[in-house]
């Protein structure tokens, strides 16, 4: 870790998102998610044992992959790099990734019980996978609350980087919880060393869903990052620092 | 086969509602910022972004 840190503010650069006033990434993401909905509802076979409720997989597990693994993974990487490099951009990336990650984790926590009730006979059970995911959501909300509570930007970035890094450490435990503890939650059927345990039609829907929700995540992340840049530019302007 | 379509219909609706609400919150926050930027004479249009 470097012993000296540059405290010079960098120029605030907005990522270009619009061509002719349209955010094409968002448009493509929405169309992709709509296509996955259509494919999952009308063109994907129903699983014989669980019935139609098994189709919740395509919104539940994809949200978990994107929100937990991609989202909080990005929080961890950006936070660790921020603590090393002290680059404000990395703090903005971590904050944006955490907020969008919390949104996707919310979807995981809301759709999970809707799958659990018809299959397990219970909306919720305090087993390791579910409880750790709920803890991660609380940590994500805590991270965002902490950011709102600290006014000094450098202190806010440092404290939240530490919390973000520690929160993301839960993700591997969440993934491995089904191996480490006795749990109602099924074993991984896709993210495992052997081939996915699904028929090809279901695999196509699942992997298309993963791509579509990853695109949605990217669109949200970029929009949220832009807001952070504009908010900081506005704050700098209002403080009279002469930022353009 | 169990008849439990209602659960997945509700799950798909809930997921869509959460994503739409979050998208709307981003749009709403962007609009509030744009208003403030306009008051202060700051540009936030696409041309300005591409020029940076």
Q: Are A71 and A97 in contact (CB under 8 A)?
A: yes
Q: A81 burial class (0-12, 13-18, 19+ CB within 10 angstroms)?
A: middle
How many helices (DSSP H) and strands (DSSP E) are in chain A?
8, 2
**pLDDT tens digits along A112-154:** 999 999 998 999 999 899 999 999 999 999 999 999 999 999 9
pLDDT at site A16:
59
Contact A87, A11 (CB under 8 A): no
The complex's ipTM? 0.88
Percent of chain A with pLDDT over 70: 87
> How far apart are the C-alpha atoms of A126 and A194, rounded to whole Å?
28
Out of A46, A103, A114, name the one closest to residue B11 (CB).
Answer: A114
- Residues B23-37 have pLDDT tens digits of 999 999 999 999 988
Rounded mean pLDDT of chain A? 88
* Interface contact A60-B7, CB threshold 8 A: no
Taking alpha carbons only, the member of A180, A159, A212 closest to residue A38 is A212
Is residue A20 pLDDT above 60, yes or no?
no
Check B19 against A41: CB less than 8 A apart. Answer: no
Instruction: For residue A123, give every residue at least 6 positions away whose Cβ sits within 8 Å of its Cβ, in sequence order, or none.
Output: A113, A116, A117
Listed residue (B3, B16, B36, B41) closest to A54, CA to CA: B3
A8: pLDDT strictly greater than 50: no
Under the phi-then-psi rule, with left for phi > 0, alpha for psi from -120 to 50, and beta for the rest, what region is A239?
alpha
Q: What separation, in Å, do the N-terminal and C-terminal C-alpha atoms of chain B show?
A: 59
Q: How confident is the model at residue A1 (pLDDT cuts 50, 70, 90)?
A: very low
- Residue A227 in contact with residue B30, Cβ under 8 Å? yes
Backbone angles phi, psi at A227, to 5 degrees: -60, -40
Q: Which pair of structure tokens corresponds to residue A110?
A: 């809301």
pLDDT at residue A14 greater than cutoff 50: yes
pLDDT band at A192 (very low <50, low <70, confident <90, very high): low
Which residues of chain A are within 8 Å of residue B15 when distances are taken between CB atoms? 59, 63, 107, 110-111
Residue from B7, B25, B29, B52 whose CB has the most chain A CBs within 10 Å, to mutate? B7
Q: Which two tokens stand for residue A76?
A: 């961890």
Q: What is the pLDDT at residue B50?
A: 42
HSE of B10 in the Cβ direction (CA atoms, 13 Å)?
Answer: 13
Give the pTM: 0.88
Cβ atoms of A95 and A160 within 8 Å: the answer is: yes
């Amino acid at each position: 870790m470097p012993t000296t840190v540059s405290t010079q503010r960098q120029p605030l650069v907005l990522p270009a998102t619009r061509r002719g006033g349209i955010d094409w990434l968002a448009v493509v993401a929405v169309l992709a998610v709509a296509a996955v909905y259509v494919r999952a509802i009308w063109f994907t076979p129903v699983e014989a044992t669980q019935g139609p409720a098994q189709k919740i997989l395509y919104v539940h597990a994809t949200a978990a992959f994107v929100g937990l693994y991609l989202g909080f993974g990005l929080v961890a990487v950006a936070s660790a790099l921020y603590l090393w490099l002290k680059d404000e951009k990395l703090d903005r990336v971590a904050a944006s990734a955490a907020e969008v990650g919390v949104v996707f984790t919310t979807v995981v926590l809301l759709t999970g019980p809707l799958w659990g009730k018809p299959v397990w006979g219970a909306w919720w059970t305090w087993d390791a996978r579910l409880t750790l995911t709920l803890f991660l959501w609380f940590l994500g909300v805590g991270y965002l609350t902490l950011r709102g509570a600290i006014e000094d930007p450098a202190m806010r970035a440092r404290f939240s980087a530490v919390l973000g890094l520690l929160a993301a450490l839960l993700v591997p435990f969440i993934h491995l919880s089904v191996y480490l503890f006795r749990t109602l939650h099924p074993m991984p059927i896709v993210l495992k060393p052997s081939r996915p345990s699904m028929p090809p039609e279901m695999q196509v829907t699942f992997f298309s869903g993963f791509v579509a929700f990853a695109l949605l995540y990217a669109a949200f992340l970029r929009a949220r990052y832009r807001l952070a840049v504009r908010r900081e530019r506005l704050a700098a302007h209002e403080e009279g620092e002469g930022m353009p | 086969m169990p008849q439990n379509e209602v659960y997945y219909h509700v799950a798909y609706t809930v997921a869509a509602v959460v994503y739409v609400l979050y998208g709307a919150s981003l749009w709403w926050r962007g609009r509030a910022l744009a208003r403030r930027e306009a008051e202060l004479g700051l540009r936030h249009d696409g041309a300005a972004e591409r020029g940076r």
